[in-house]
């Protein structure tokens, strides 16, 4: 009889998930090298100042803002997984706000322009945005309407004599709002038409009547800029309509799926990053004559965290696979976003605990991870809204 080799558990398996191939692995390495060399050294400084605009230019130059975008618009023509790799590797910048500002460009504003825009709009905005020469922001949320997107009040009224639209309203919490050259703006063009009364516009931020009112101060994500914006009689031509008049609600719901999936990937990567740093700490920090990681109570915390992170990662990758293969898996995207954001906050919180008093100190950067990750349960749709979407998907 054949004698089987003795099988030993391999806890250090390095094989990447089946969605990634060698090209993805190489891309991952080159992004990581760039992030660690050119971005990470500025992490502390950018917490105070927000990250500078040259990051867009540099990343555009390296092709990182258009990894999954068509070659004809200056992109690299890669699959969806390439943008996932970028979102994951940006955590090595130690700067959550930077990852968010970049994701607004790559996964929230360029995609709707490429999907719904005219050829002129793609040339005018998507091409320079992919090259990093223009910065974009997305305006959905208003002071009186966030979760309830249908409750927005920003109006765009068609003015027949001039053949223009006149926009009035305000938007808040807008990432990149201070630095952006243009905004993808959600408006109501027909308040009586329900979901068929919304229209998206591409509005240059230097248009007369666009006011960058306030730089908002936040709990975390300090490296990103967050704006309160006002629109006072802003006039734009018909050519500024993005997609179809009256279909803006559906267009923005499509956009939100990509935003949520990339947000989920960012949550998993953020959780893994804080886990890794804490694991190293737990192996070095001693109490009662041994490394704290060797106390069963602490060891089990790592076991719990690792299991949650791996579960969330598998959800994100399996959903990304569906997305890449032409499905529109709204339920799964919503579940992945909900679960990944929740576990990321739990993990960061537990990592503060494992660090003890040092976890509460700025010096260790763990409290910053917690503050940055805390946003993920609110932004791009809160936990409660995710639960609504999932619950309703069962016909309830
Ligand atoms: C740092 C940051 C950056 C952001 N960037 C952008 C951006 O670039 N562009 C943009 O447009 N927006 C942006 N947002 C806005 C973000 O998407 C909203 O904050 C989010 O959608 C929640 O909306 P809200 O803050 O108005 O909360 P609200 O809608 O007022 O909700 C308050 C609470 O009520 C709960 N709630 C609301 N409705 C229900 C319901 N039906 N059932 C149960 N509970 C409910 C919510 O879950 C939440 O807990 C950003 C926010 C932050 C904080």
Q: Which of 3-17, 38-52, 131-145, 334-348 is predicted least confidently?
A: 3-17
pLDDT digits (tens, 9 = 90+) for 317-345: 999 999 999 999 999 999 999 999 999 99
Dist CA 208 CA 164 (whole Å): 14
How many angstroms does the Cα of residue 111 sit away from the middle of ligand 1?
22
Phi, psi of 235 (to 5 degrees): -100, 125
Dist CA 313 CA 336 (whole Å): 9
How many angstroms does the Cα of residue 344 sit away from the middle of ligand 1?
18
Task: Give me 272's structure tokens.
Answer: 């893994």
Would you state the pLDDT for residue 293?
98
pLDDT digits (tens, 9 = 90+) for 104-136: 999 999 999 999 999 999 999 999 999 999 999
At what angle are helices 330-355 and 366-374 packed, to 10 degrees?
150
pLDDT digits (tens, 9 = 90+) for 155-190: 999 999 999 999 999 999 999 999 999 999 999 999
How buried is residue 181: exposed, middle or buried, by Cβ count under 10 Å (0-12/13-18/19+)? middle
Ligand 1, pocket-test mutation among 183, 379, 390, most atoms within 8 A of CB: 379
* Rg of the chain over all Cα atoms, to the nearest angstrom: 22
Residue list, ligand 1 pocket, CB within 6 Å: 104, 137-141, 146-147, 173-175, 218, 221, 226, 375, 378-382, 384-385, 388
Distance, C-alpha 306 to centroid of its chain: 22
Is residue 238 within 8 Å of residue 164, measured between CB atoms? Answer: yes
Angstrom distances, CA of residue 190 to CA of 112, 143, 156, 377? 21, 20, 8, 32
Ligand 1, pocket-test mutation among 135, 256, 373, 382, most atoms within 8 A of CB: 382
Is residue 140 within 8 Å of residue 171, measured between CB atoms? Answer: yes
How many angstroms does the Cα of residue 379 sit away from the middle of ligand 1?
6
Would you state the pLDDT for residue 4?
62
Residue located via tokens 């105070």: 48
Task: Give me 151's structure tokens.
Answer: 């409750």
Shortest-distance Cα residue to atom 41 of ligand 1:
385
Burial annotation 226-252 (CB, 10 A radius, 16+ → b, else e): bbbbbbeebebeeebbbbebbbbbebb
**Residue 53 in 3-state DSSP?**
coil
How buried is residue 211: exposed, middle or buried, by Cβ count under 10 Å (0-12/13-18/19+)? middle
Dist CA 138 CA 135 (whole Å): 11
> Model-level pTM?
0.96
How many angstroms does the Cα of residue 145 sit away from the middle of ligand 1?
8
Query: Which band of pLDDT confidence, cut at 50, 70 and 90, is reported for residue 247?
Result: very high
Query: Which band of pLDDT confidence, cut at 50, 70 and 90, is reported for residue 2?
Result: low
Residue 14 has pLDDT above 80, yes or no: no
Residue 12 has pLDDT above 90, yes or no: no
Is residue 194 within 8 Å of residue 20, measured between CB atoms? Answer: no
Phi, psi of 261 (to 5 degrees): -70, -40
């Amino acid at each position: 009889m054949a004698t089987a080799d003795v099988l030993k558990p391999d806890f250090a398996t390095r094989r990447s998930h089946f969605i990634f191939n060698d090209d993805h692995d190489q891309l991952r390495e080159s992004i990581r090298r760039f992030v660690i060399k050119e971005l990470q050294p500025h992490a502390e400084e950018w917490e105070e100042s927000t990250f500078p605009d040259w990051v867009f230019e540099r990343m555009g130059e390296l092709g990182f803002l258009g990894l999954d975008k068509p070659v004809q618009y200056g992109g690299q023509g890669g699959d969806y997984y390439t943008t996932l790799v970028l979102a994951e590797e940006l955590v090595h910048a130690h700067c959550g706000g930077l990852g968010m500002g970049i994701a607004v460009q790559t996964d929230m504003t360029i995609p709707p322009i490429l999907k719904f825009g005219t050829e002129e709009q793609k040339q005018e905005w998507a091409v320079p945005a992919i090259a990093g020469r223009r910065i974009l922001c997305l305006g959905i949320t208003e002071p009186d309407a966030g979760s309830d997107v249908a409750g927005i009040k920003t109006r765009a009224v068609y003015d027949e004599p001039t053949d223009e639209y006149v926009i009035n309203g305000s938007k808040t919490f807008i990432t990149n709002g201070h630095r952006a050259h243009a905004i993808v703006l959600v408006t109501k063009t027909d308040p009586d038409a329900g979901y068929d009364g919304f229209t998206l516009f591409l509005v240059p931020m230097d248009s007369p009547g666009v006011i960058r009112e306030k730089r908002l101060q936040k709990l975390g994500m300090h490296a990103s800029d967050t704006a309160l914006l006002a629109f006072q009689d802003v006039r734009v031509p018909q050519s500024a309509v993005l997609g179809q008049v009256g279909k803006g609600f559906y267009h923005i719901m499509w956009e939100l799926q990509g935003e949520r999936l990339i947000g989920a990937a960012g949550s998993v990567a953020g959780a893994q990053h804080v886990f890794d740093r804490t694991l190293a700490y737990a192996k070095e920090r001693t109490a009662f004559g041994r490394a704290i990681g060797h106390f069963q109570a602490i060891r089990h915390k790592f076991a719990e965290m690792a299991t949650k992170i791996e579960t969330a990662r598998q959800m994100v990758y399996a959903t990304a696979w569906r997305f890449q293969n032409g499905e529109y898996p709204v339920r799964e995207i919503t579940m992945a976003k909900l679960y990944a954001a929740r576990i990321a906050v739990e993990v960061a919180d537990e990592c503060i605990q494992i660090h003890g008093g040092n976890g509460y100190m700025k010096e260790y950067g763990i409290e910053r991870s917690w503050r940055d990750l805390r946003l993920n349960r609110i932004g791009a749709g809160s936990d409660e809204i995710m639960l609504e979407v999932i619950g309703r998907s069962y016909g309830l």
